[in-house]
Amino acid sequence: MSEPAIVTACLVGAEVSREQTPYLPITADEIAAEAAACRKAGAAMVHLHVREPDGKPSQSAELFAAAIREIRRRTDVIVQVSTGGAVGMGVDERCGPLTLRGELRPEMATLTTGTVNFGDDVFSNPRPLIRDIARRIRECGAVPEIECFDAGMVDEARALAGEGLLALPAHFDFVLGVPGALAATPEAVRFLVSRLPEGCSWTVAAMGRHELPFAKLALELGGNARVGLEDNIYLSKGVLAKGSHELVAKVAEVAKELGRPLATPDEARQRLRIPAL
């Protein structure tokens, strides 16, 4: 029997706008409804950003608290918060969700292990800042997901582990196809997987039209999948997804064809070494 695949739904992001798609969830209620629909479609985890009421990206602890409260009231998915936020945010702002404690504490948080061009912007992650965020994730009691936009970021994760700032094995997300960073190619996926420290799990977040084909490739290679409006708003050419749940449903079909069962949130918690809340 093959290993259950963990499907992550990236519901919101910081870049997509309501002008691009009317299906982008913005309020806590909309985000939680989408999280519940994704769980029903097969997701075990949501990757979470939040927005101000006018749609502006935010890392406000209050907005995260409202979204997490509402998600946990409706469903049992793992909540993974972004510490990347939007380009240009400072470290305290980015780490807003890591200040949450108690029943609103995030179970997972992203940790990007390097600086990268991000379209015409720069997603800035100097080494001292990476270490600062790694410490804050640990203090919060969350488990990191290592976000790698380029190959050297896998090596930086090894360095962090050597410094005692990261526990291995860990869970990695290979973010492919951001303009200015590593392109989405099967060779890149195979190389990144070959560079992983022993025992690590991994997923692929491929941008735009690459999202679904690379989710399939990841499942074929024994990895996990991430899909959602943060990375891609289309279900097929010219057809907007009516929410991330439609993209999750597509991945669930593919997983079934490939003979990969889908992990429940509790199975995923066990695999990702997430302690009980």
Does residue 82 touch Zn ion according to CB under 5 A? yes
Residue 10 or 260: the one with the smaller Cβ distance to Zn ion is 10
- Name which position in 7, 16, 44, 123 contacts ligand KMH (CB under 6 A): 123
Q: How far apart are CA 118 and CA 106, in angstroms?
A: 26
DSSP 77-135: PEEEE-SS-STT--HHHHTGGGG--GGG--SEEEEE-S-EEETTEEE---HHHHHHHHH
Q: Contact with ligand KMH (CB under 6 A): which of 25, 42, 84, 265?
A: 84
Q: CA 121, CA 198: separation in Å to the nearest integer?
A: 34
- Residue 163 CB, shortest distance to ligand KMH, in Å, is 21
| Among 34, 70, 107, 147, interactor with ligand KMH by CB under 6 A | 147
Residue with tokens 């029943």: 103
HSE (side-chain half, CA atoms, 13 Å) at 219 = 28
Q: Does 144 bind ligand KMH (CB under 6 A)?
A: no
| Least spacing, CB of residue 261 vs ligand KMH, in Å | 27
Position among 14, 16, 41, 188 found at the interface with ligand KMH (CB under 6 A): 14
Q: Is 87 in the site for ligand KMH (CB under 6 A)?
A: yes
Distance CA 156, CA 139 (A): 20
Question: Shortest distance, CB of residue 127 to ligand KMH, whole angstroms?
Answer: 17
* Residues paired with 122 in a beta bridge: 117
Question: Considering the complex, what minimum distance in angstroms separates the CB of residue 69 from ligand KMH?
Answer: 20
Nearest distance in Å: CB 259, Zn ion? 30
